[in-house]
Structure formats: C-alpha cells, structure tokens
C-alpha cells in the first residue's frame, strides 16, 4: 500500500482531542490537556469521549470509535491528538470506518495503548502517524522542552527530517553494531503482541522495529519478544530501535534475566543492528517518532536519522 503523509500542522491548526483508550484520571486533567495543546499554538476541539468514564475506559466502545471516525471525517479538523493511553484502543479497531479515514488523512499522535491504532492506520491506510507524547498529565507541564520541540518539529513543515537527538545525559547504546535503513514501525511491545493474529498485526519486513514498554517484568518482555521471534517478526526486520523500559525490573528477591540479557538472547541472533536507550516511550523526555517513514540507525556511530519528511 502506498504511504500517505498528512498535511503539516501550523500555528492555529484545529486539533481534535479524543480518548480512544483509558479514562482521564479526573475532569481537571482534561483541562490540563487542553491547556497543553493550546500552549503549542493550536485550537482544541474536544471529543465526547474525553470526559466519559466506563470503568477503566473513556466511555463505551461505540462512543470512542465514533469520536475517532468523526474527527477524521471533519474537514475542519487538521490533526488528532489522543488524550492518554491506558487500555481500550484494540476494542474499537473493528468499529473504525477505514475507508473514511483513508480518504481524510491527517496528523495522528499518541503512544502506549495507542500503538494498536498506529498499527491499524498503517495496515489499513498506509498513513504516516506519530508516536509521541500525549497531553494528559498528572502535573504540568505535559511535556518537557525537549519533548515539545521534537513534537513540533515532527508534525510541522519540516516533518522531523534529520537527526533525532537524545538528551545529553542519556547516551544511546549499540547492543549490536552495524547500520540499517527501513521504514519505522512499532511502539508499545505489549500492544504489538496483543494484535498478533488479528488483521492489524505488525509487518516488520525490511523495517526498523521500535519497541518500548512500562511496568512489565523481564520474563513478560521475554515472552512477548519470543512470540514475535516465533512469528518471524524479528528475523524479517532490518534492525531494532529500543526505547524506554520504565519500571521493567524484576520483582524484588526473584531470580531474573536482565533486559540486556533478554535483548541479546533474542535479538542478537538475527545479526541485525540494535540501537538502544532512545528517550521515547514512557520516559520524562518522550521524543516523537514518525511511523511509516524511512529512518537509518547506526549502532556504531550511535545515531538515528529520519531520512525524509513525515508531513506534506
């Protein structure tokens, strides 16, 4: 399928704020989110799901899918930002009008549970999307300066082309040397694994696979990576980009492999370059990554470069 690049967002663009996943922690958190997006220079249009609560979900599946479809269909909406992650995005994938979405491409931003939507948008529409910070936050600001700058660079006219730089105090690491190019795919490892066997499972053939996660024990990360290995998803990738692994240590007092040991056991045998410790995912600095765009990783020079613009 041909890739579709969304139109770049400029100051004054109208952003549809939707909650396809978990419910906001409190109504005031939605106000914080609106303020954060407004501070970026955009106008906010709030979806009905943002203030709804249905257990751990931001309202019913019908409502969340309706917001998704409506904001893609609305020609006055220039981009769509997801409020937060949590859980729930996979529940609405079979309720999305993919033909409608394909006919109305626009910037789509989120991470964590939103990975399911990224995978589906790539599979169904060939749409370039953005793995990056969401505005729901427990405290202000919703993003630090590095995250804010990377987000605006990625979704603006420059389209994020060029070198993606980690914070100075967080050096990239090469777990396996070499250089590789390919379209960037991936996101949250748990969601990648959860969509295996569905129409929206990840396609890694010749691509750079990006993965990150939060609050998963090492054995669970091992299990999910092993699932991808047995499905041929690791061998078919061109290289690997490892993001943040917040709170992914072993249970105190329990015997465990380290994450590096797991990565070396499961990724090194592919013989592909592995670039690790990228500040992307559940970290205080969450760099925006354009999914579906060609990138180059150099695990010797420790660089990540976006080779083309992600916006039109």
d(CA 288, CA 128): 13
Which of helix, strand or coil describes residue 236? coil
Place of tokens 């953005």: 130
Peptide bond connecting 141 to the previous residue in cis, omega within 30 degrees of 0: yes
Place of tokens 């704020």: 17
d(CA 113, CA 148): 21
What secondary structure does DSSP assign to 183-217, as a single string? Answer: EEEEEEHHHHHHTTTSTT----TTSEEEEEEES--
Token code pair at residue 25: 């922690």
Q: CA angle, corner 231, sides to 228 and 234, nearest 5?
A: 50
Which of helix, strand or coil describes residue 79? strand
N residues, the chain = 312
List active site positions: 112, 212, 282
Which of helix, strand or coil describes residue 303? strand
Nearest CA among 305, 309, 13, 293 for reference residue 127:
293
d(CA 115, CA 96): 15
Q: Give, as one character, the DSSP assignment of residue 156.
A: S
Three-class secondary structure assignment of 98-151: HHHHHHCCCEEEECHHHHHHHHHHHHHHCECEEECCCCCCCCCCCCCHHHHHHH
């Amino acid at each position: 399928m041909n890739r579709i690049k969304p139109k770049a967002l400029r100051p004054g663009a109208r952003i549809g704020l939707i909650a396809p996943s978990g419910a906001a922690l409190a109504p005031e958190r939605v106000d914080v989110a609106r303020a954060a997006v407004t501070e970026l220079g955009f106008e906010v249009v709030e979806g009905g799901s943002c203030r709804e609560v249905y257990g751990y979900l931001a309202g019913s599946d019908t409502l969340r899918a309706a917001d998704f479809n409506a904001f893609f269909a609305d020609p006055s909406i220039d981009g769509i930002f997801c409020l937060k992650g949590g859980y729930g995005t996979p529940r609405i994938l079979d309720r999305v009008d993919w033909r409608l979405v394909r006919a109305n491409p626009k910037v789509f931003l989120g991470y964590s549970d939103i990975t399911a939507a990224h995978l589906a948008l790539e599979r169904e529409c060939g749409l370039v999307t953005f793995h990056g910070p969401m505005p729901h936050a427990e405290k202000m600001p919703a993003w630090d300066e590095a995250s804010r700058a990377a987000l605006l660079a990625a979704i603006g006219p420059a389209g994020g082309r060029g070198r993606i730089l980690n914070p100075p105090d967080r050096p990239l690491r090469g777990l396996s040397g070499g250089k590789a190019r390919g379209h960037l795919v991936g996101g949250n490892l748990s969601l990648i694994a959860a969509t295996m066997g569905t129409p929206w499972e990840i396609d890694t053939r010749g691509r750079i696979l990006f993965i990150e996660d939060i609050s998963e024990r090492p054995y669970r990360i091992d299990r999910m990576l092993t699932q991808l290995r047995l499905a041929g998803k690791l061998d078919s990738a061109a290289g690997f980009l490892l993001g943040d692994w917040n709170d992914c240590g072993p249970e105190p007092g329990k015997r465990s492999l380290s994450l590096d040991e797991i990565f070396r056991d499961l990724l090194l045998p592919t013989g592909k370059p592995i670039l690790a410790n990228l500040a992307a995912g559940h970290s205080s600095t969450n760099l925006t990554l354009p999914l579906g765009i060609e990138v180059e990783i150099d695990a010797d020079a420790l660089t990540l470069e976006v080779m083309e613009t992600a916006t039109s």
